[in-house]
Amino acid sequence: MTPFRQSISALKGIGEKKAVLFHRLDIFTIGDLLTHFPRAYEDRTVCRSIGEAPGDAPCCVSAVVITPARHTKLKHGLELSKLTVADDSGRLAITFFNQRYAADSLLLGREYVFYGTIEGVGSRKHITNPLFEASEAPPFFTRRIVPVYPLTAGLTNRAFSRFVAQALALTDGRIPEPVPDALRSRYHLAHKSFALQAIHFPASMEALELARRRLIWEEFFRFSLALGRLKQRHTDTAGIPIPPVSLEPFLQALPFSLTSAQRRVIHEIAEDCASGPPMRRLVQGDVGSGKTMVAAAAVYLAAKNEMQTAFMAPTELLARQHFHTISPLLQACGISVGLLTGSMRPKEKHAVLQALESGEISLLIGTHALLSERVAFSRLGLVITDEQHRFGVQQRASLAEKGQSPHVLVLSATPIPRTLALILYSDLDLSIVDELPPGRQPVKTFFVGENKRAKLYEFVRKTVLEGRQAYFVCPTITEKEESASERKAVKQYTELLQRDIFPGLRIGCIHGQMAAGEKEQVMQSFSEGGLDLLIATTVIEVGVDVPNAALMIVEDAERFGLSQLHQLRGRVGRGAHESYCFLLSSHPSEETRARLRALCKSNDGFQIAEADLKLRGPGDFFGVRQHGMPKLKIGSLPLDLPLLQEAQSAAAELLARDPHLTEPEHLCLQKTVSALLSQMEGGFS
């Protein structure tokens, strides 16, 4: 067994109890331990004499113990231990609080290195609770750059680094090197064993930088290889081509003419479907750019070639809405459309399923219910998923398995920068609808404080008087909190508005805990103009389309992400009316102000996504796990984008030469890539 795969209990000092603490950090093997990277470093390399120690910053001093420790008991169980140490430049008084054991371990006449901030001047220099280790011992937590780990209760940083040091010693000389020599020299990458040593115990900041570069590069490299293999797998399969047909009848049935971006993307789709391996394409576009019609055109193409389409939406609300907009349009072209959602009565479901199996229905729109085993198509040729970040790779795949390598179209909800999209979705081809339908006015967005509330309510009245409708959005109480309190918050707020603020207006409310049928009724009534105001949680975030709604007020706006706010704001400004969005925040921090202002200034979802990405900073990048991607352990985006690009082109080149990574020097890579692949395909909820 490679030392990496060995259990951590192979380390001295890790018994069953300790192991549990490590498991909490997702550390099971030596390899897990060595790839549990520090989240920060503390530079303890500065050494001074007692006389020259700065009074305001920590440093190391080497000094000899000249008086033994004396202990004094104080009130409240507090105990003081005092002793004195000295070097050539002077004396230093040391005080320990409740560390009798530490104080007693310092032996008279021996030299130690102490680390801490030395206060006082001249003969009055003193230090409290310093860290220390014997001068003749190898430097461990003094005189070096010390790693700081993300930890869990019960594990100290010092103990943890000791175990890491032990693991490094245990694996010394046996650390596998997955990146081939040629690539390492070409991309100036340090050796893996050096990198692992230096990332935990860097000898210098330069060494740390080399280690980081190497490890981030490898992480992105593996990730790119895995995505590349995924893509290969699909290009290896033969698709059933959808030959082009005239779209004229479809275009005639539309109540508007398509934008040129829509036309271009439809053309890209048609070409892609017409030949070769099955289409696997992501359609990106800002909120309101009209992705649904692009999808409808694809359905038309498939249906006119006697192929069925499955169209999956993340919520029942959205599935129904798609059904209501798409079905009349396609029906007019002689294409029959069915709807399948979890809340339908068994009898209704049964009828739909039968019609589907017999081929009577050409398009089935629905929620996750489409994934059910009982859903069988007679000739599934196209799979569309809307608002893709809510679905995983696995769900997309299991829907596709209902046909024989059908074409796959993914509509993304959140615009992300093109560079990133190309990488994250490198297993898909990319089409971008980069134009809004004509006449769309940008949503005027303002950030306001609590003091403007009364004025805002006045503005709501005025808007309603003009015949428009408005949304109030309340934050969804965090997922873990009682869902009942969310309902209460929205309901109470609705009651308050109805009773005290807008007694004359028709107000409805909608939230995640309502039954699907109920939600549908409220939405229906709002969309038909039966309600003036809709008080909602983020259930309306995706896709909901009511062109007459021209005003949105977001309560506690600081609790939303920027891209999410942009999505929400996209619920207004969908008709020809001038539209407004007010972001309310009662105690905005400077950071909140900056974030929300960014949103007020821009109406471009791609730009906002980029800003959002930067603000969220390193670490887990915007719900990547939801995309089915593994969490990055060391790289962070967009910060390390250049490394990602490097690694990606290296991966593409390597796969072109050795598609299955079977050459002997790629075997180690092949193993880690396969492991990553099965993680990406299998495991996430």
Between the CA of residue 131 and those of 71, 103, 126, 157, what are the distances in Å?
A: 18, 11, 14, 13
Nearest to 294 by CA among 182, 374, 410, 197: 410
**Nearest approach, Cβ of residue 533 and Mg ion (Å):** 23
| Opening angle at CA 608, ends 603 and 612, nearest 5 | 155
- In terms of DSSP bridges, do strands 363-366 and 308-312 run parallel, antiparallel, or are they unpaired? parallel
**Nearest approach, Cβ of residue 307 and Mg ion (Å):** 23
CA distance 427 to 223: 11
**Nearest approach, Cβ of residue 259 and Mg ion (Å):** 15
CA distance 153 to 191: 34
DSSP letters, 615-663, are HH-SSS-TTGGGGTPPPPSS--TTTTHHHHHHHHHHHHHHHHH-TT--S
**Nearest approach, Cβ of residue 149 and ligand ADP (Å):** 43
From the list Mg ion, ligand ADP, none, partner contacted by residue 537 (C-beta under 5 to 8 A by kind)? none
CA distance 299 to 250: 10
Cis peptide before 638 (omega within 30 of 0): yes
Nearer to ligand ADP, 141 or 526 (CB): 526
From the list ligand ADP, Mg ion, none, partner contacted by residue 256 (C-beta under 5 to 8 A by kind)? ligand ADP
Nearer to ligand ADP, 142 or 412 (CB): 412
Nearer to Mg ion, 295 or 599 (CB): 295
**Nearest approach, Cβ of residue 619 and ligand ADP (Å):** 29
**Nearest approach, Cβ of residue 289 and ligand ADP (Å):** 4
Strands (E), 162-314: 280-285, 308-312
**Nearest approach, Cβ of residue 283 and Mg ion (Å):** 10
Q: In one letter, which amino acid is 320? A: R
Residues written for the chain:
685
The answer to whether 404 touches 241, Cβ cutoff 8 Å, is: no
From the list Mg ion, ligand ADP, none, partner contacted by residue 38 (C-beta under 5 to 8 A by kind)? none
Nearer to ligand ADP, 234 or 263 (CB): 263
Instruction: Report the residue closest to Mg ion, judged by CB.
Output: 543
Structure token pair of residue 221: 């490299």
Q: Does 285 bind Mg ion (CB under 5 A)?
A: no
Q: Which residues of 32-42 are buried (b: 16+ CB within 10 A; e: fewer)?
A: bbbbbbbeebe
Which positions lie near ligand ADP, rule CB under 6 A?
256, 258-259, 262, 285, 287-293, 437, 543, 545, 547, 574
CA distance 382 to 384: 7
Handedness of CA 240, 241, 246, 247 (dihedral sign): positive
**Nearest approach, Cβ of residue 308 and ligand ADP (Å):** 22
Instruction: Report the residue closest to ligand ADP, judged by CB.
Output: 290
From the list ligand ADP, Mg ion, none, partner contacted by residue 176 (C-beta under 5 to 8 A by kind)? none
From the list Mg ion, ligand ADP, none, partner contacted by residue 259 (C-beta under 5 to 8 A by kind)? ligand ADP
CA atoms within 13 A on the CB side of 65: 22
Nearer to ligand ADP, 404 or 564 (CB): 564
**Nearest approach, Cβ of residue 282 and ligand ADP (Å):** 13
Nearer to ligand ADP, 309 or 585 (CB): 309
Of the listed pieces 109-117, 504-512, 535-543, 605-613, which binds Mg ion according to CB under 5 A?
535-543
- In terms of DSSP bridges, do strands 145-148 and 40-43 run parallel, antiparallel, or are they unpaired? antiparallel
Distance, CA of 522 to chain centre: 32
Residues contacting Mg ion: total by CB under 5 A:
1
Nearer to ligand ADP, 200 or 574 (CB): 574
CA distance 624 to 293: 27
CA distance 269 to 80: 76
From the list ligand ADP, Mg ion, none, partner contacted by residue 574 (C-beta under 5 to 8 A by kind)? ligand ADP
Considering only residues 366, 543, 573, 605, which one is a binding residue for Mg ion as defined by CB under 5 A? 543
Nearer to ligand ADP, 116 or 285 (CB): 285
Nearer to Mg ion, 508 or 543 (CB): 543
CA distance 249 to 245: 10
**Nearest approach, Cβ of residue 655 and ligand ADP (Å):** 33
Nearer to Mg ion, 31 or 543 (CB): 543
Of the listed pieces 250-258, 294-302, 433-441, 540-548, which binds Mg ion according to CB under 5 A?
540-548
- Under the rule (CB under 5 A), what is the footprint of Mg ion? 543
